């Protein structure tokens, strides 16, 4: 029997996305965002509210990168979710991480995170109930040590972390349990 829980953020897992941008002075900022997804093969959509420093930066620079947080840098990722760039302008510097300017977009790439998606701002959708940043993916880059023999990202090597909205925890992505578009063939 199921028990009513009321209104809770009941989607699991949530990504741990590191959204990086430059402000008008070229200062890097990174925020931790769970509300984002690939919305087309070459598009990512992030649901970020207007007061975030990152939103202001993206409006200015028209670009951003999105990295996947990994187990080795979960403390830094959590810090990026705790500290606001509006109140702590040296937030990135305090993290101890390093960044390089993307060669494709006007945004920083955080070197320690193993995968980065380079994006140009496509549009900002503002409605009464939603605020979405839509980015055109111009490139995805990954550390060689997270690639398989065919040059594809191996989730087991990526050590990406996911967010648990139920109890506010981070978990490392686990073992593969089935092959997509194959496991369900028995019902076709």
pTM confidence score: 0.95
Question: What's the mean pLDDT when you consider all of the chain?
Answer: 95
Residue 45: count other Cβ atoms within 10 Å of its Cβ.
Answer: 18
Q: Is the dihedral of CA 77, 83, 84, 89 positive or negative?
A: negative
Segments making up each domain of the chain, as ranges: 14-187
CA dist., res. 86 & res. 113, Å (int): 23
- For residue 97, the model assigns a pLDDT of 98
Structure confidence by residue, pLDDT tens digits, 71-82: 999 999 999 999
If you classify domain 14-187 with CATH, what class do you get?
mainly beta
- For residue 10, the model assigns a pLDDT of 87
Which helix (H) or strand (E) segment is 45 a member of?
A: strand 43-47
pLDDT band at 174 (very low <50, low <70, confident <90, very high): confident
């Amino acid at each position: 029997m199921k028990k009513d829980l009321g209104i809770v953020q009941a989607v699991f897992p949530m990504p741990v996305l590191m959204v990086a941008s430059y402000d008008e002075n070229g200062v890097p900022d990174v925020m931790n965002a769970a509300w984002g997804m690939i919305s087309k093969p070459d598009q990512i959509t992030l649901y970020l509210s207007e007061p975030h420093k990152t939103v202001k930066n993206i409006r200015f620079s028209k670009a951003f990168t999105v990295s996947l947080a990994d187990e080795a840098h979960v403390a830094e990722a959590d810090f990026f979710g705790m500290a606001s760039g509006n109140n702590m302008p040296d937030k990135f510097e305090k993290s101890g991480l390093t960044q390089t300017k993307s060669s494709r977009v006007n945004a920083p790439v955080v070197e320690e995170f193993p995968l980065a998606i380079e994006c140009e701002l496509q549009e900002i959708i503002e409605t009464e109930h939603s605020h979405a940043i839509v980015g055109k993916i111009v490139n995805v880059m990954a550390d060689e040590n997270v690639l398989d023999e065919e040059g594809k990202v191996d989730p087991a090597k990526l050590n990406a972390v996911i967010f648990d909205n139920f109890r506010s925890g981070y978990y490392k992505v686990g073992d593969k349990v089935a092959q997509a578009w194959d496991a369900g063939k028995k019902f076709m």
